[in-house]
Amino acid sequence: MQRLGEPFGFAGDPAEGRRARRAVRELAAKVVAQDELLDDVELMAAEAIANAVLHGSGAITVAVETDGRRLRVEVSDEGPVQDDLHGRRRIDHGRGLTVIDALADEWGLDQSPRRTRLWFEVSQGDDPLEPPSRRTDSFPLR
């Protein structure tokens, strides 16, 4: 797969997470022409990034790639957060993975004590991913 831009990292700050989600959409828009699919990519990225912020530790890294037919987004962090102050394990209590499962063509979660990587892939059906067409026509001013 070919990277769309360089992978980027940020601390687990929610404001940085919002910027990362928008950056994923901007990168995906280079090859995805369908607004609805871009909305889905942005939503899945938001859920994956939120999971990393809430349940992960350390720096979060986001990468966007394509092979011309599929778009892949990976969100990695430095591993699951340790037990909370009361000794309870943190579990996924939101809808993030459910949303990703419903919208992605494929997805996976690789987790070890030192790294968590959540990835998802989408395609435009049988059509190859293509950049949005640039309109060259103009509209008359009235």
Task: Quote the pLDDT of residue 84.
Answer: 46
Residue 141 reports pLDDT greater than 50? no
pLDDT at 93: 58
69-127 per-position pLDDT tens digit:
999 999 999 988 765 444 444 455 568 899 999 999 999 999 888 899 999 999 977 66
Report yes or no: 114 and 58 within 8 Å, Cβ to Cβ. no
- CATH T-level topology, domain 2-82+96-123: Heat Shock Protein 90 (3.30.565)
β 8-10/60-66 pair status:
antiparallel
pLDDT at 101: 95
What is the reported pTM?
0.82
Q: How far is CA 100 from the centre of its chain?
A: 10
The percentage of the chain sitting over the pLDDT mark of 90, rounded to a whole number, equals 57
Predicted pLDDT at 87: 47
